[in-house]
A and B are shown apart, each in its own frame.
Chain A
Amino acid sequence: MTDTIHARSDRPSRARRVLPARDLAQIAIFAALIAALGLAGPLNIGPVPITLQSMGVMLAGAILGPRKGTLALLLFLALTAVGLPLLAGGRGGIGPFTVSPAAGYLYGWLLGAFVIGHLTARLMPKYPFWPALGATILGGIGAVYLLGIPVMAFNLGLPLWTAASLNVAFIPGDLIKVVVTVLVAGQVHRAYPGLIARIGRPRNPADAGSTTGSASTTGSTSTTA
């Protein structure tokens, strides 16, 4: 057992970075988490195989918020595109981003993480269940399908409605992931407050444009080794 003080990097430095070190680390850890979820392989719930990776996308938005969550996704996708086998099933490279019928879903993940993050930031610090569920459905299913289905239709040369109907089978699995995400995010926000700066409340004009929001989080937490 060690008592570790987690530093705050909010000193009034001239060289205030757009992303302080702790934010960088959170983004990298979440990108790694999404990758690790892909390595875990699919779970079978009923007849539908569920990849946990897309739940990692929802979690990134719901736990890290719009900026850090979207960047974590961008980082994960960039590492996949350059040839690391991080997509569920050990796929990677530029194929899944361009010519694959599922290419649109990857861009949808990016949009989805942003939408979830943005809406979640308006629900902080309370994170009430039903609005959070709505936010996660909108981003995790709505935004993902919004980009996923047209690209699928285009790459397969199918009419839009046909492509859309092919997706119906995935909705139950996606809904399960949404519910799990909201329950998990709620618990995480209680265990580790301050991950997402609230937006939508009038802020002190002196604070506007500064990045203190993400840095001025919890003061102390102790890790148990």
Chain B
Amino acid sequence: MIGLYSPGTSLIHRAPTLLKLLLLSLGVGVVALFGDPRQLGVALIVVVALFIIAGVPLKASVRQIAPILWMLLLAVPVQALLAGWLVAGLMAGRLLIAVALAALFTLTTTVTAVLEAFDQLLRPFSRWIDAERVGLLVALTIRCIPLVTEIVSEVLEARTARGTRGTLRALAVPVIVRSLYAADALGEALAARGVDD
């Protein structure tokens, strides 16, 4: 399954998923308590070290972390105006570290491993949640993404062939209706293969 996973053999890659998840939430929790720029500085060094140990590509990391930068660009001046630059800087630092840690988890853990971890976490609730159905839905959705993408490009092609530009709505309606027909056929195929039995 193509996820955000960036292959590797580092200690961080090999650590058990649930342990990583636990350490991540601990890390985020501890960083949230930091009120001293020096503490944050140390944390920042630790995070950079972790990224180096994991050896994940810089580009992939930046892509996950960058979107919060523009939010900070907006929020830091407002914060500074309200509470001063120190508080604003601390807030930005804490957020950056937390987002980076979460990204590190995602970049070093396969989708399959996360699904297995979720499965383990959901086990106590098996009375209410049918794990097999959830698994089926997950797999079915991954199958459906290229199916829907194909429908979208076919509708776009048909539009180009007719030489019309059309509105968003003229594009969306056929895409959705055709997707629903595809869902009908998929539902039939699932039923024929005994999903409802």
Contact = CB atoms under 8 A, between A and B. Distances in A.
Interface string A21-35: 111111111111101
Interface in A183-200: 183-184, 187-188, 191-192, 195
B40 interface: no
B173 A191 contact: yes
Interface string A51-72: 0000000010001000000000
A13 interface: yes
Contacts of B186: 25, 28-29
B152 interface: yes
Given A82-B115, A94-B105, A183-B169, A22 B183 contact: yes
B172 A180 contact: yes
A15 interface: yes
Contacts of A17: 195-196
Given A63-B176, A184-B169, A22 B141 contact: no
B179 A84 contact: no
Contacts of A183: 169
A155 B106 contact: no
Contact of A21 (B4, B63, B188): B188
Interface stretch (A97-105, A109-117, A129-137, A143-151): A97-105
Q: Is the interface of B mostly helix, strand, loop or mixed?
A: helix
B187 to A, nearest CB: 3
B4 A24 contact: no
A191 B169 CA distance: 14
B185 to A, nearest CB: 7
A212 interface: no
Contacts of A7: 184, 187-188, 191
Contacts of A125: none
Interface residues of A, number: 67
Nearest to A99: B98
Contact of A27 (B24, B87, B137, B168): B137
A15 B177 CA distance: 30
Contacts of A23: 187
Interface string A10-24: 000101011111111
Nearest to A187: B173
A92 B138 contact: no
A76 B144 CA distance: 12
Contacts of B5: 83
A17 B194 CA distance: 12
Contacts of B82: 158-159, 162
A84 B191 contact: no
Contact of A92 (B101, B106, B191): B106
A184 B172 contact: yes
A25 B143 CA distance: 11
Given A26-B183, A83-B110, A195-B180, 13 more contacts: A7-B184, A15-B196, A25-B140, A59-B172, A75-B138, A81-B114, A82-B111, A95-B99, A99-B99, A99-B102, A156-B71, A184-B173, A187-B169
9 contacts: A21-B188, A22-B188, A24-B190, A25-B190, A32-B147, A59-B172, A93-B4, A98-B102, A191-B173
10 tightest CB-CB pairs across the interface, nearest first?
A: A93-B106, A95-B102, A22-B187, A32-B144, A99-B98, A21-B190, A25-B187, A28-B140, A25-B186, A82-B114
